[in-house]
Amino acid sequence: MSMIPSIINHIKQIEHGFKHIITAGDQILADQGTPHFNLALQFLADNSYQVRMLATYILGQLSPTHPEALQILETQVAEDQNWRVQEMLAKAFDQYCQVTGYEKSLPVIKKWLSDPHPNMKRAVTEGLRIWTGRPYFKDHPHTAITLISVNKSADSEYLRKSVGNALRDISKKHRQEVLDELSTWDLTDKKVAFTHQLATGK
Burial 102-139 (b: 16+ CB within 10 A, else e): beebbebbeebbeeeebbbbbbbbbbbbbbbebebbee
CATH architecture of 1-100: Orthogonal Bundle (1.10)
pTM above 0.85, yes or no: yes
Angle, helix 4-12 to helix 19-30, in steps of 10 degrees: 170
- % residues pLDDT > 90 (the chain): 90
pLDDT of residue 1: 54
Query: What is the residue-level pLDDT of the chain in tens, covering all 202 positions?
Result: 578 888 999 899 988 889 999 999 999 999 888 899 999 999 999 999 999 999 999 999 999 999 999 999 999 999 999 999 999 999 999 999 999 999 999 999 999 999 999 999 999 999 999 999 999 999 999 999 999 999 999 999 999 999 999 999 999 999 999 999 999 999 999 999 999 999 998 7
Whether the bond between 130 and the residue before it is cis, its omega within 30 degrees of 0, is yes
